[in-house]
């Protein structure tokens, strides 16, 4: 599917044209998003095409794929991967062949409805928008969703304001990742993001995840920050919950994260959590503290094998917020105000990592998480 991203869109903002609209109730971004030219290009270097067009007919290939779905009898694992899209130079973005995307999505929907894929236990979807997650998720019957043990959802279109950590190089003051003005950001959206903005359609992603009730592994990798508190997923009764979880580019409450790391309500069992990856997750100003999450992992998860924390932080209004003046290149496990006497964020995280090293029976060099000399070797944990 390398030829689904077929052109770049270059937007323009003419102050003289805008001045003629003075007094009218028209948003600057609305003016900007309706003033552009499209440049056909072979964006993907892996593409072997020489006939550059906005739309490449895939009728033959997709027909063959449908016939394959008809002949399959028992598919337990499926991976669907669309090409990603980025904002390029100022007010320029890579764009998709919308007709082609719709045709491919319809074909995958056809496959997901086929009897062979009712046996799925492992599903990985890398899609342009959260809206597309809803489109493909709705094609699976509830019985098929109940059979899923492993679910990975990756959003690959990072165009537009706040779509990538690297964009903060030009998005001055966008500490919370909530900038939405294209004109202010200068990072333009693709045609997919104009039609189906990730954040506005995230409810469809969360609804699909919540309907997969027997998951053991869950990975959600976003581009524009998504709101984890919208997810109402709980382990089934009698379950020890998720074994593996990965969250990337999320806004969250500490309680929302902890809920995903816990057993079913009322259960006296200990959580089944083994591997946890948290990358670029921000806790709201009133969303609690990271130490609550780390302490839960440290004291309540006996099967824990790995905790990988990268770029964890707080909203700028949070008491423990620490400013990262170069977020596109300054990296840390967690950004937190360690000078506060009652702040155990970093301390508890290091306790977890040392505990993992002891359980693995290896040295810190053999543990796949970087540790610095923050605490003394003889500190109790």
For 225-239, the pLDDT digits (tens) are: 999 999 999 898 889
Give the C-alpha separation, 199 to 218, whole Å: 20
pLDDT > 70: percent of the chain: 88
Average confidence score pLDDT of the chain: 90
Q: What is the pLDDT of residue 371?
A: 45
Domain locations in the chain as residue ranges? 59-366
Residue scoring higher pLDDT (2 or 171): 171
Give the C-alpha separation, 103 to 62, whole Å: 8
For 324-381, the pLDDT digits (tens) are: 999 889 999 999 998 777 899 999 999 999 999 888 776 555 555 554 433 334 433 2
Strand partners, 246: 219, 277
Q: Residue 109 — pLDDT band, cuts 50, 70, 90?
A: very high
pLDDT tops 60 at residue 95: yes
Using CA atoms in the order 163, 164, 168, 169, what is the torsion angle rounded to 10 degrees? -120
End-to-end CA distance of the chain: 50
> What CA–CA distances, in Å, run from 116 to 69, 73, 123, 215, 308?
7, 5, 14, 20, 36
Best CA proximity match to 314, nearest among 360, 362, 265, 254: 254
For 3-40, the pLDDT digits (tens) are: 899 899 999 987 655 555 555 667 888 889 989 999 98
Q: What stretches of 162-274 adopt beta strand conformation (E)?
A: 217-227, 244-252
Rg of the chain over Cα atoms, rounded to whole angstroms, equals 23
**Per-position b or e across 117-149, b if 16+ CB within 10 A of its CB:** beebbbbebbbbbbbbbbbbbebbeeebbebbe
Q: What is the pLDDT of residue 292?
A: 98
């Amino acid at each position: 599917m390398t030829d689904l991203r077929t052109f770049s869109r270059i937007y323009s903002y003419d102050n003289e044209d805008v001045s003629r609209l003075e007094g009218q109730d028209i948003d600057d971004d609305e003016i900007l998003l309706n003033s552009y030219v499209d440049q056909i290009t072979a964006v993907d270097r892996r593409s072997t095409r020489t006939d550059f067009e906005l739309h490449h007919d895939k009728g033959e290939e997709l027909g063959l794929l449908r016939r394959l779905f008809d002949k399959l009898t028992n598919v337990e694992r499926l991976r669907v991967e669309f090409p990603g899209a980025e904002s390029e130079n100022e007010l320029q973005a890579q764009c998709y062949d919308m007709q082609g995307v719709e045709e491919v999505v319809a074909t995958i929907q056809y496959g997901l409805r086929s009897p062979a894929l009712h046996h799925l236990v492992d599903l990985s979807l890398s899609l342009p928008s959260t809206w597309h997650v809803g489109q493909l998720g709705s094609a699976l019957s509830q019985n098929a969703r109940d059979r899923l043990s492993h679910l990975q959802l990756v959003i690959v279109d990072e165009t537009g304001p706040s779509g990538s950590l690297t964009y903060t190089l030009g998005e001055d003051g966008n500490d919370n990742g909530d900038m939405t003005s294209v004109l202010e950001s200068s990072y333009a959206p693709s045609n997919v993001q104009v039609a189906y903005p990730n954040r506005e359609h995230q409810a469809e992603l969360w609804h699909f995840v919540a309907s997969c009730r027997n998951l053991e592994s869950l990975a959600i990798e976003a581009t524009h920050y998504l709101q984890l508190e919208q997810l109402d997923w709980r382990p089934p009764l009698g379950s020890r919950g998720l074994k593996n979880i990965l969250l990337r580019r999320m806004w969250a409450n500490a309680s929302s994260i902890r809920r995903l790391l816990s057993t079913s309500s009322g259960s006296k069992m200990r959580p089944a959590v083994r591997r946890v990856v948290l990358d670029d997750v921000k806790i709201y100003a009133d969303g609690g503290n990271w130490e609550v999450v780390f302490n839960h992992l440290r004291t309540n998860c006996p099967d824990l094998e790995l905790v990988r924390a990268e770029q964890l932080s707080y909203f700028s209004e949070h008491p423990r917020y620490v400013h990262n003046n170069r977020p596109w290149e300054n990296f840390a496990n967690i950004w937190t105000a360690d000078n506060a006497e009652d702040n155990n964020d970093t301390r508890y995280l290091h306790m977890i990592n040392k505990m993992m090293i002891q359980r693995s029976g290896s040295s810190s060099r053999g543990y796949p998480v970087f540790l610095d000399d923050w605490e003394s070797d003889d500190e109790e944990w």
